[in-house]
Chains A and B, each alone.
Chain A
Amino acid sequence: MDIFDFSDGREGYYGEYGGVFLPEILHETIEELLQCFRECKSDPGFWQEYESVLQSYSGRPTPITYLENLSRHLGGAQIYVKRDDLNHTGSHKVNNVVGQGLLCKRLGKKRVIAETGAGQHGFATATMAAKFGYDCRIYMGAVDVARQRPNVFWMENLGAEVISVEDGQKTLKDAVNECMRDWVTNMSDTHYILGTACGPHPFPEMVSWFQSIIGKEARKQLLELTGNLPDRVYACVGGGSNAMGIFQGFMEDPSVELIGCEAGGKGVGSYMHSARLAYDDAKVGVAQGYKTYFLQNDDGNMSETHSVAAGLDYIGINPIFSYLWEQGKVRFEAATDEEVKEALKLVMRTEGLIPALETTHGFVTAIKEAPTLGKNEIILINQSGRGDKDIFTIADALNDSKWKKFIDGKAQDYRLERN
């Protein structure tokens, strides 16, 4: 099944999800993008260049690590991790960004804009823009700016202008709206580097295509390493780009179960979460340029979302996943903030790995299910990002008194410096 073959259906639709719902003024821009993307996708030279840049610049292919201690500790399946956290800038976001950066060259545009939640996509975009010589502006919700200062620091020092978005909930969705507003004004010289597999066609397909490099590598590596395919593959799902990336490696393998892990926040019934498919609170709607499941009220206004992980704190889900979920091809689970903190501690202590808070949602579900599987079964988790950026949030969550003392000392130093 090629989900991107639209010859039997409507272009840009996955079942009833996807499409293009944009202001008329962007029609020609999105057509131009679609045409350019089609040319890139059908040109083997483009993919070669893409792989080669990622190899020399970002350290691809990223390895697979066998988690021997954690597997033994849980006493069930053998757990393997695809290490996309080892990319330059510390997450899978760089894959999509390098891809769109190369595409932007073909479009002949000189300026890039991007939304960011956790800041990983903004960070990766700022890095790429510096390397390729684009002017770069990043839109980030004010709430996220406050909780992800280290990434803001890097973006600004890489030469990007970071705009703190003060509208709405001041998180990822509001940053997307600001990007749209910038784009309808500056489309002639600006490419919008959407960071996840959401938004209007061709973004879901394009971002999925660039991220498919994760799954391609992982399938080959795991076969070489174990001689087997995994029984289950886990990945966290905000918009859904890292999960689409790794899942695409196993779409044609009926024996492999694919599990998307959403942000359960404060849990079922709390209405303080970002679980669109794992919980029953979302319904189909149209916003931010596409049709999918959104967390919204009866009037169609978007609900407040929550997650300890800024990168998962989003109202909508990749339209491809809405379709694959409906078709029974991908199962969706949710991990709560509390579960994420516990899983993170366990993974750090047993394996010396520091997954990002986003990524840890995938670990939660895998850790719950591993003991129910046999020792001969294999689990693969996509470690989409590293947790260093979350040091402030994690230190808070772990209530680390030494860290607090350190910050307090720093604060005092800065105060003295000012006076």
Chain B
Amino acid sequence: MEKIYRWQSTGLQAGEKLVGIESFIKDKRRKKDILVMGHVVCGYPSFEENFSALEIMEDAGVDLVELQFPFSEPSADGPLFVKANEMSIKSGTTVNMCFEFMSKVTKRFSFKVLMMGYYNTIFQLGEEAFLSRLKDSGGEGYIIPDLPVEEATKLHTLSRDLDLDPIILMTQTSSDDRLKKLGESSRGMVYAVARKGVTGSKTTMDESIDSLISRCRANTSVPLGVGFGISSKSDLDFLKGKADVAIIGTAALQAWETSHANGYKNFFESLQIS
């Protein structure tokens, strides 16, 4: 309730629903040209290091964060995240530990938190149990790259009752018909996948991104985040005025891998977010 109250005080337009990621992003966008969503793989390299990374992101003005729950078969992830998932599981990370971490994070930080992971994590817990744990842990929604909308009807309905947002992915290869269908299911925000492939490779910011963004915009009214290969201030500048959220994953983890907290801090400062 407290969160809802805080957004209300900023004065949203009449008719806008006062909950969820959508109003959070729309509200923040009045003051910022582009928001930034960060990412950590829970338990990699360790929960302590995750926490330090999140402190750096908070200080740098990051607006949203994905907490990835590690899975043994992360088939949509690139090499760096594959390794992160594997090492985290090997070190003993459990789903329970990830939720406990999420509670701690949402209590401590002002950015909004989304769960990111693969469907089997949810399926094993049970959809209702998953959503209620997510809600209790202060999460706002979830990104499940291997759950197509056809398979998500029940999960999405249950989510609506709890004001949790399922973040839908739209891609360059999606047909217009498909984008329309995805648009109808979208809530909170849409995650536009900037290129083919898995997470982690560099994406060239060019007209193909513009075209993707305008095709997504034509099919949904919720805010638009762009991810996959976003790695620098110039990428952010390119997306300003086009997208609402720049999603940064691998580039940040790369910085942590090469030069730990200092490198991470420098990386986020170089983005000049706020």
Contacts and interface: CB of A to CB of B under 8 A. Distances in A.
B18 to A, nearest CB: 29
A285 B124 contact: yes
A19 interface: yes
Given A22-B146, A286-B119, A302 B169 contact: no
A181 B75 contact: yes
Contacts of B75: 23, 176-177, 180-181, 288-289
Given A24-B145, A27-B178, A302 B171 contact: no
Interface stretch (B2-10, B192-200, B263-271): B192-200
Contacts of B196: 25, 184-188
A21 B151 contact: yes
A294 to B, nearest CB: 8
Nearest to A283: B124
B171 A25 contact: yes
B12 interface: no
B79 to A, nearest CB: 8
Given A180-B75, A181-B75, A286 B120 contact: yes
Interface string A329-361: 000000000000000000000000000000000
A180 B198 CA distance: 9
Nearest to B168: A24
Contacts of A185: 196-198
Nearest to B94: A299
Contacts of A21: 119, 146-148, 151
Contacts of B125: 300
A284 B178 CA distance: 29
Given A23-B76, A177-B75, A302-B73, A285 B120 contact: yes
Nearest to B76: A23
A259 to B, nearest CB: 29
Nearest to B122: A300
B143 to A, nearest CB: 11
A302 B86 CA distance: 11
Interface residues of A, number: 36
A19 B152 CA distance: 12
Contacts of B121: 299-300
B148 A24 contact: yes
Contacts of A285: 120, 123-124
Interface string B120-163: 11011100000000000000000001111011000000000000
Interface in A90-112: none
Interface in B161-202: 168-175, 178, 182, 193, 196-198
B274 interface: no
Contacts of A173: 73
With a 10 A CB-CB cut-off, give which of A181, A188, A300 has the most chain B CB atoms: A300
A157 interface: no
Contacts of B83: 167
Given A184-B198, A301-B89, A302-B73, A289 B120 contact: no
B21 to A, nearest CB: 19
A397 B164 CA distance: 56
Contacts of B147: 21
Nearest to A291: B123
Contacts of A188: 196
Interface in A1-47: 19-29
B72 interface: yes
Given A25-B193, A27-B174, A168 B148 contact: no
A42 B123 CA distance: 36
Contacts of A22: 146, 148
A140 B173 CA distance: 28
Contacts of A302: 72-73
Contacts of A26: 173
A212 interface: no
9 contacts: A23-B145, A24-B170, A24-B174, A24-B193, A25-B174, A26-B173, A28-B175, A187-B173, A296-B72
Given A287-B73, A302-B73, 12 more contacts: A20-B148, A21-B151, A23-B146, A28-B175, A184-B76, A286-B119, A287-B118, A288-B73, A288-B75, A289-B75, A296-B124, A299-B95
Interface of B: 70-76, 78, 82-83, 86, 89, 94-95, 118-121, 123-125, 145-148, 150-151, 168-175, 178, 182, 193, 196-198
